[in-house]
Amino acid sequence: MDLLSLPDDALLAVLAFLPSRELLSLRVLCRRLRDICLHPDLWRRRALGHLGNLDENDYEQEQGLLRAVLRLVPCLGRLIGYVDDFEFMASMVPTTSCVISELKLGIYGDGDSTTNVLHTVHSLGGLKTLDVHLDVGSMTTCSEILNAIYSLKGLRELKIVLGASPTFLLGPCPRPCLSLEVEPSLTKLCFVESLFDIRPDEGSEPFLISFLETHAATLEEVELRGVTDEIVLSLLGKLPNLRSLACFPVPGIMDFVRQSSQLRSVSIHALREVPSAALQALTESRTASLLKTLHLGCSMYGPDLMAVAGCLPRFPVLRELLLNAFPSDDFLRALTPTSAPRLTRLSLRCDKKCLHAWLHDIRIQDLLQRNPRLHLQRCNSTRDEFYEFYKEDAYFEVINCDCSFCEKEKSRGRRSWFSLHRRTADCPPGCLQVVQLPCSSALPADSSNQQ
């Protein structure tokens, strides 16, 4: 049997392992490979970009690859890079039909070519997700870019991160062009103010207000970090389909959480520890009995962790708990099928250099044995979105251990979930089974839950 004797489905499965450059090289060998190497299934989940950290020779090669992809392939899952890397795209509009589903742009300096790039990608059709890190020096330029983003039709997910430039920390906010007519389409909106300083409250955030008002009928997930404006917070109650909220624990938002009966996911981000008032608001909320995901993205210690553990019985259907904390022994012992009966995903910080050693620590083994349905993940404390711009996973922390297990985990480029049971259809993507050690003091896990 040779490669071409495989049926199309099997051949596509094999070719999916090839890098993009090799796929384009392979297509010149014969007519069948010419067609199948450009099959949409091979490209709709691929990501290209990451040009910013390359030397001159590699940069030219990767940009040449990107030009070839845009000219030849029918679609691309994700395009990532600084806006200056894609200035050439405006000239390719007549020669490309490559539909890009997700665009992630870093916009710094003058950002002159930004609007051209945005409209070029959008004009190809199919752009559903836009992630923009904006740090320009001119308020006029900032306004033009935000107006261009606001005018894009059909977006489903939008993330805007405003940098630490004095442009964003001082002076009036840019104003949206009110003459633009935009149909509601966004289901997810993330708006992040400077991660280094919370902006002084100098009036409303006009663009954020426009996004919330325009897409009120369709928004399901909202993330607001660094935003404290009361007008913005008052608009949260006018989003009928809101199910997921990520925010700073400011009083206005906590009042909304306490009154809400529709939230299924809540993420609290804080510069320091989570205030006790935030936990109290969560437990008192009318949505507590329906909450499925809780993320506390701030440093936490023993007493804070035990406060969280004490709240768990108030969330009877909680499935996912993400904590930026090193787990104490008391906290790990407090996690049981009784206190958290539906919990299947837990993210914690690793207190050992070696991930492999952490997973085989007697405390972790006991936790997994007492909770046979649980999946454990290594959390990361990194919150600098600009530093993490080129990482596929903004929370993937560098593993310092060089053992074979940790090296393999680093090579995956994503954080795995670990459990004591074999992977099933209910497991999260990337679930790996951990060997159960006989030295654990925990009771044996129920064999009926291990397949």
Which H/E stretch holds residue 386?
none
In 312-378, alpha helices (H)? 329-334, 355-359, 362-370
Nearest one of 144, 152, 158 to 113, comparing CA atoms:
144
Q: What is the mean pLDDT of residues 168-173?
A: 47
Q: Give residue limits of the domains in the chain.
A: 1-42
Q: What single DSSP character describes residue 308?
A: H
Quick count: other Cβ atoms within 10 Å of Cβ 140? 10
Supply the pLDDT for residue 344: 96
Q: Would you say residue 322 has pLDDT above 50?
A: yes
pLDDT band (50, 70, 90) for residue 301:
confident
pLDDT for 274 beyond 70: no
Query: Which of 410 and 101 is assigned the larger pLDDT?
Result: 101
DSSP-assigned beta bridge partners for residue 103: 79, 130
Higher-pLDDT residue of 172, 317: 317
Closest CA to 412 of 390, 431, 385, 434: 431
% of residues, the chain, pLDDT over 70? 82
Q: pLDDT band at 173, cuts 50/70/90?
A: low
1-42, CATH topology level? Monooxygenase (1.20.1280)
Q: Is the pLDDT of residue 198 over 50?
A: no
pLDDT at residue 156 in the model: 97
pLDDT in tens, 56-109: 788 888 888 888 898 899 999 998 888 887 877 767 666 677 899 999 988 887
Residue 443 confidence (pLDDT):
43
Q: How confident is the model at residue 406 (pLDDT cuts 50, 70, 90)?
A: confident
Model pLDDT, residue 174: 57
What is the residue-averaged pLDDT of the chain? 82
- pLDDT reported for residue 446: 42
The pLDDT value given to residue 379 = 83
**276 versus 165: which is more confidently predicted?**
276
> Would the pLDDT of 389 be above 80?
no
- Are the C-beta atoms of 378 and 364 separated by less than 8 Å? no
Among the listed ranges 51-65, 82-96, 314-328, 360-374, which one has the minimum average pLDDT value? Answer: 82-96
Q: Which two tokens stand for residue 128?
A: 């559903």
Find out whether 77 and 104 touch, Cβ atoms under 8 Å: no
Residue 164 has pLDDT above 80, yes or no: no
Q: 93-102, 283-292, 330-339: lowest mean pLDDT where? A: 93-102
> What average pLDDT does this structure show over 222-247?
88
Confidence of residue 229 (pLDDT cuts 50, 70, 90): confident
pLDDT recorded at residue 159: 95
Task: Write down the pLDDT at residue 74.
Answer: 92
| Of the ranges 178-182, 262-266, 409-413, the best mean pLDDT one | 262-266
DSSP per-residue string spanning 46-69: -EEE--TT--HHHHHHHHHHHHHH
CA distance 30 to 118: 36
